[in-house]
Amino acid sequence: MSNPLLDFSALPRFDDIRPEHVAPAIRQLIDENRALIAELVADPAPPTWANFVTPMTEEGERLGRAWGIVGHLHSVMDVPEWREAYNAMLPEVSSFYAEVGQNLELFEKYRLLHDSAEYDMLSPARQRIIDHELRDFRLSGAELPDADKPRFKEIQEEQSALAAKFSENLLDATNAHAEWIEDEAELAGLPDDAIAAARAAAERDGKPGWKFTLQMPAYLPVMQYADNRELRARMYRAYATRASEQGRPELDNGPLIGRILALRAEEAKMLGYRNFAEVSLVPKMAETPEEVLAFLRELATKAKPFAERDLAELQAFARTELDLDPLEPWDIGYASEKLRQARYAFSDQEVKQYFPEPKVLEGLFGVIRTLYGVDIVADTAPLWDPGAHFFRIDRDGATLGHFYLDLHARETKRGGAWMDSARSRYVGPRGTQTPVAYLVCNFPGPVGGKPPTFTHDDVLTLFHECGHGLHHLLTQVDDLAVSGIHGVEWDAVELPSQFMENFCWEWDVLCGMTSHVDTGAPLPRELFDKMIAAKNFQSGMQTVRQLEFSMFDLRLHSEVDASAGPVPIERVMELLDEVRREVAVMIPPPWHRFPHSFSHIFAGGYGAGYYSYKWAEVLSADAFSAFEEAGAGKGTLLDRETGERFWREILAVGGSRPALESFRAFRGREPRVDALLRHNGMVSA
């Protein structure tokens, strides 16, 4: 217990855990897992849930939790010591999991249990766990000839290392660029809080003037508000070429992309599939790459006319009102903001003043309380950063779970927003273990003694990640492998997150979560009505952009031949150009290097699965329409009865049954695409 990573008695001891604890703790846990596996496979007794699955679950959970803490700290505190500690153990952890996945004796134990009389007496959730285990063993190469297994294991280990390196290169390349402004006139158009944050950044470096980085809280205001077109162009180019051959050679992700694709193709071939996309779809709702591509193309056909109209309007406005002709990619955000202000008479910056962080959190928690009858209470626990927070979820006096909230961008924190599991719900021999989640974002921090304020997009992101968190925390499944987000098909896991975003467009929700940062006044109804009028502003362009990413990902993993070794980055860019010609309306410059920063598919588990966002958006929009129906004429969509049903049929069941079954149980029918098109304003009159 002297090593805090080996203390599973309570919450992670973030105040005690140090990089030097990682190697001894993880090695000990791997050794203990290996010893248990050796004991279990040597046991001549027929495998049962009690004598086989339970001990495997409990021992595996300890390693998973400890390594999860290490991975979390590597993400939110990517300093050299933590990076080194994580990377030093990554090959050993990857090797262990690859070794377990190929263990034929373990595979045989699960197969014997599946074929036994006990299997028929198990709950559907436990049957599903065994079915998933057998599937995952096959995908891990358990049935490969012994001569092929070492190579398959090498592939898994190298992929893990390359994914980590991809993320690190992207973070380092993002941090490597800064724009220094010394003439205040060059800041024209920028909001006061963005200028103050840039001044504070320069002061931290002991320099005069203003420092703008490629971190989102600094980058986005420049692209949206800076009148200085040259500054926008420089920032755009630096952001668009991050981690590519146009920067520092050691941070170029191009060779990593080629190698990752080759390894994935080799893995697919060894498993008997035509391509990696087929492997990726095995545990998902969608069945074939062709089915997904048809779905994406159907949406593209419906969305592209709206996108073309959006772009034509923007180009005409930029030409006549802003003297921007031609409209360049670094003008899009700026011109769009000017058009939005001209058309709807408000700006994102004006809205932002009404969303101070404390009030937003109060409103978010209020929605959750109303829908699900739970209390969210500030709690105490060791934290990795003084800006992080910790909360408890209670219902009827019982604690359902806890979550950490880390909202502010830092140079040592990877970009984006995510939810991850710190601990999962499990009922075992030692009683009930409640779930714990990490909710992480990259919003601006406080400046000048004022609380941070969020854009409406930030609020949507927070609700999105909280939706994932609720899926994990409100589970009522007792078996670890299918509780919370575990065992949920990847293309359904975004349903609860995207569902939550819809509440950010409801007046009765927003009026309870706004308070002007200076005056305390709530969001005016007139401003809200303008936001609603502008809700689907450029939704056509936004939709085809997501479809471009999804189609590029799917075709990259199903059509590009990677069997001869690393794929040249030129071939990757050629495919992206093909996809853009089919679905995009605004084509970036030839030097743009989007794939080099597409960490979702090269470092985030979304390889051949980025389409999941759109697939799940259909489910989430349709699910939300149940609340629209229940709330019709009542003045609020926060309907408790429908909320309880959503909890019972979607959130509570986790991965214990197929996602489509859960959707049908909630909605009473198959999902339909109509609600998504309607919510996005893409229904022709």
> What does each C-alpha distance from 95 to 30, 156, 162, 671 come to in angstroms?
10, 8, 14, 40
CB 279 within 8 A of CB 291: no
Beta bridge partners of 406: 440
- CB count in 10 Å sphere of residue 540: 23
Q: What is the pLDDT of residues 135-183, one digit of tens each?
A: 999 999 999 999 999 999 999 999 999 999 999 999 999 999 999 999 9
Cα dihedral: 72, 78, 79, 82 (round 10): 40
Tokens of 218: 């600094």
Of the candidates 539, 538, 528, 522, the residue with the CA atom closest to the CA atom of residue 505: 528
CB 474 within 8 A of CB 641: no
Residue 648 has what DSSP assignment? I
pLDDT of 681 reads 87
Return the SS3 of 465: helix
Q: What is the pLDDT of residues 31-47, one digit of tens each?
A: 999 999 999 999 999 99
Q: What is the pLDDT of residues 192-245, one digit of tens each?
A: 999 999 999 999 999 999 999 999 999 999 999 999 999 999 999 999 999 999
Clarify whether 548 is annotated catalytic.
Answer: no
Q: What is the pLDDT of residues 385-402, one digit of tens each?
A: 999 999 999 999 999 999
Q: How confident is the model at residue 685 (pLDDT cuts 50, 70, 90)?
A: very low
DSSP state letters, 65-83: HHHHHHHHHHHH---HHHH
CB 258 within 8 A of CB 566: yes
Is the previous residue joined to 326 through a cis bond, with omega within 30 degrees of 0?
A: yes
Q: Cα separation of 377 and 402, whole Å? A: 9
Tokens of 649: 């049929």
pLDDT of 684 reads 57
Q: What is the pLDDT of residues 55-95, one digit of tens each?
A: 999 999 999 999 999 999 999 999 999 999 999 999 999 99
First to last CA, the chain: 67
What is the pTM (predicted TM-score) of this model? 0.89
Q: How confident is the model at residue 677 (pLDDT cuts 50, 70, 90)?
A: confident
CB-based contacts of 398: which residues, under 8 Å, 6+ apart?
A: none
Given the residues 465, 494, 501, 548, the one annotated as active site: 465
Q: Cα separation of 410 and 191, whole Å? A: 20
pLDDT of 1 reads 59
CB-based contacts of 219: which residues, under 8 Å, 6+ apart?
A: 212, 213, 235, 239
DSSP state letters, 480-544: GGGSTTTT--TTTTTHHHHHHHGGGG-HHHHTTS---TTT-PPPPHHHHHHHHHTTTTTHHHHHH
Q: Is the pLDDT of residue 276 over 90?
A: yes
Spacing of C-alpha 526 from chain mean position: 33
**How much is the average pLDDT of 512-516?**
94
Q: Is the pLDDT of residue 676 over 90?
A: no
Q: Which helix (H) or strand (E) holds 341?
A: helix 332-344
Q: What is the pLDDT of residues 548-594, one digit of tens each?
A: 999 999 999 999 999 889 999 999 999 999 999 999 999 999 999 99
3-state helix, strand, coil in the chain (%, to 5): 60, 10, 30
pLDDT of 635 reads 87
pLDDT of 673 reads 84
Tokens of 494: 């975004």
Share of the chain above pLDDT 70, in %: 100
Beta bridge partners of 181: 210
Tokens of 592: 């743009």
Q: Cα-flanking dihedrals φ and ψ of residue 213, to 5°? A: -105, 180
Q: Is the pLDDT of residue 491 over 60?
A: yes
pLDDT of 21 reads 98
The CA radius of gyration of the chain, in Å to the nearest whole number, is 25
